[in-house]
Amino acid sequence: MKLVMRLYRAARPLLFCFDAEKAHGLSLQALKNGFLPHVTNAPDPILAVEYFGLKFPNPVGIAAGYDKNGDVLAGLAGLGFGFLEAGSVTPKPQPGNPRPRVFRLVEDEGVINRLGFNSKGLDVAVRNFANRPAGVIVGANLGANKESEDRIADYVLGMERLAPLASYVTVNISSPNTPGLRALQGRAELEELLGRLTAKRAEMITAGAASFPILLKIAPDLTDADKSDIAAAVLEMQIDGLIIGNTTITRPSSLISATKAEAGGLSGQPLKPIALAALKDLYQATGGRIPIVGAGGIQDADDAYARIRAGASLLQLYSAMIFKGPYIAADIAKGLAAHLHADGFGSVREAVGVDTPIP
C-alpha cells in the first residue's frame, strides 16, 4: 500500500494534466482491470461498529458519486473501505449536464461538479448490484430523472428494484445539479417522500422481502428551520439514518483556485467546516437518536475523529481520493484506531458525539 501511495503522489501531476472527468474514468478502468492490490478493511477490532442491523468492519466508507452505476464494486472493496455506496442511480438512463462539468480546485483541495445525475439507469445498476462482492456492505444511492413528472415515484421505483440487492438504500435529495430537487427537503414534500417510501418498504416486507435500512442524504446548506423539519420528519417516519452532507452551493471567501467560480456543488476541504457545522446541528436536533453518516471534507484521521466526536456514527469520503490517493480510507482507518486507543475509548460508538452536547 505504501508503495502504491508513493507512486500515486509521483503520478498525480500527470493525472492532473487530464480533464477531471477523464482522470476519473481512468481510475475506474484501473479498478475494473484489477490494477490495484487489495488491502484489509479491518486493521483494528476497535473500529468495528454495528448500525441498523449491519456490521461494519470500519466506519470509513466511500460516498456515492465515485461509482455511479456499481461498475467497480469488487475493485473498491479492496481499497480498505468499511462500506461502499454506489449511485446516484436514476430509473431511466440520462447523460447529465454538458461537459466540462467537473473541476479541480487544486490549491484549495476541492472539487466543483455539475454532473447532473448522469446515470446508466436501473437496468444496468440491477445487473451490477446482483454481482456485488460477497460479504461487503454496499448501499444503493437513489436519484430522480431530471424530466420526471413524479420524482417521488422515481425514488420508490429505485428502492423497489435495488433494495433486494443492496445492504441499504440512500434517498439522495441533496444534489444541487438537478433543478428543483432540493425542494424535496421542505417539510411537506419530505413527509410525502418518506411516507411513500416507508409504505412501499412495508409492502415489500409483507410480500416476503427482507427488511432493509433507508437513509436520507441531505445538503449542508440548510436553514435552522430546515434542520428542525428534517429532524422531526426522519424521527417520525422512522428513517434509519442521515447522511450529512452533499456538496455546497456556497463559495467560501478563502477560495483561490482559478475555477472557483464554476457553477455546481463544491466538495473537498472547503466544504469541511460547513458539513461539520450541519452535522452538529442535526445531531442535536435529533437528540442523537438516529445514526448520522458524516461526509464532506474528510481527508485524514484527524478529520475523521473530529467528525465522530461531533456526532457521526459512520463516515464517507470521495474528494480525498483525488488528492490523497486510492488507499486513503485504509490510512484514515489506521489513524482513527490510534486516536480511539490514545483517548481511552473502547469502540467507535463510545466516541460518537462526545463534543456535541444534546440540549
What is d(CA 239, CA 229) in angstroms, rounded to the nearest whole number?
A: 14
Give how far Cα 96 sits from Cα of 113, 131, 155, 176, 343, Å.
11, 26, 17, 13, 46
| Lookup: cell for 339 | 486516536
What is d(CA 348, CA 337) in angstroms, rounded to the nearest whole number?
A: 9
Given the residues 88, 148, 175, 313, select the one marked as catalytic: 175
H or E segment and range at residue 10? helix 2-15
302 Cβ contact partners less than 8 Å away, ≥ 6 residues apart = 335, 339
Closest by CA to 305, choosing from 271, 277, 334, is 334
Other Cβ atoms less than 10 A from the Cβ of 186: the count is 17
* Residues 98/258, Cβ–Cβ less than 8 Å: no
What is d(CA 318, CA 103) in angstroms, rounded to the nearest whole number?
A: 14
Q: Output the 3-class SS for 50-118.
A: EECCEEECCCEEECCCCCCCCCCHHHHCCCCCCEEEEEEECCCCECCCCCCCEEEEHHHCEEEECCCCC
Closest by CA to 167, choosing from 86, 223, 225, 106, is 86
DSSP 158-225: HHHHHGGGSSEEEEE---SSSTTGGGGGSHHHHHHHHHHHHHHHHHHHHTTPPP--EEEEE-S---HH
Q: Reply yes or no on whether 175 is catalytic.
A: yes
For the annotated catalytic residues, the residue numbers are: 175
